[in-house]
A and B are shown apart, each in its own frame.
Chain A
Amino acid sequence: KNQVEQSPQSLIILEGKNCTLQCNYTVSPFSNLRWYKQDTGRGPVSLTIMTFSENTKSNGRYTATLDADTKQSSLHITASQLSDSASYICVVSDSWGKLQFGAGTQVVVTP
């Protein structure tokens, strides 16, 4: 069973609207959680990283939250743009540096 589950699998939003992606994990012992953005035909690129003691981190219009008690994270995209169309991947690292990747949420922003 995958230790990192993301929802929804995909979503379509209108340009300018906000959206929130979810990530639930069971990885233990927890070290950090990253959100990656993967454009079609490209490799993933890191957006944010959060450790156990951090509960929010922003990168421009992207804001990630972490609740280490419930083992949940979210990625909020504000005022979406066409360039936000991509797959967003949640990646959790354990204390030994082993990474567990979620399957990703495919976001399509339409004009």
Chain B
Amino acid sequence: NAGVTQTPKFRVLKTGQSMTLLCAQDMNHEYMYWYRQDPGMGLRLIHYSVGEGTTAKGEVPDGYNVSRLKKQNFLLGLESAAPSQTSVYFCASSYGASGGESYEQYFGPGTRLTVT
């Protein structure tokens, strides 16, 4: 049981390049999330999904797109990377919304992205 995995672990992009971050979970969770973590700030929600085939915007969605074609995978895309998107990106999953103890979010190890 690997939990939540993220690919790649590190990436350096040039401004304007595109890339896709892959998140996979093997816990049969319905909900999946993408966050970014910047120094001195709390994690901020980019996009989330409440089930296969669904996606929704979070707090900071601009410049990102997502897809949830399979229940176990959640992809985060950057179409035209900007230096402001330099950050550490975390994927998380949960059985449902965090309204109770059973809906804990489980986090992946993160992807460190640098845009030059």
Contacts and interface: CB of A to CB of B under 8 A. Distances in A.
Interface of A: 2, 4, 9, 31-32, 34, 41-46, 49, 51, 89, 93, 95-97, 99-104
Nearest to A104: B42
A43 B45 contact: no
B90 interface: yes
Contacts of A49: 101, 104
18 contacts: A2-B41, A2-B42, A4-B42, A9-B40, A31-B98, A31-B99, A41-B109, A43-B108, A43-B110, A44-B43, A44-B90, A46-B105, A89-B42, A96-B97, A99-B45, A100-B42, A103-B42, A104-B42
A44 B103 CA distance: 15
Interface string B40-59: 11111100000000000000
| Interface of B, helix, strand, loop or mixed by DSSP | loop
A4 to B, nearest CB: 7
B107 A45 contact: yes
A43 B41 contact: no
A38 to B, nearest CB: 8
A32 B98 contact: yes
A102 B42 contact: yes
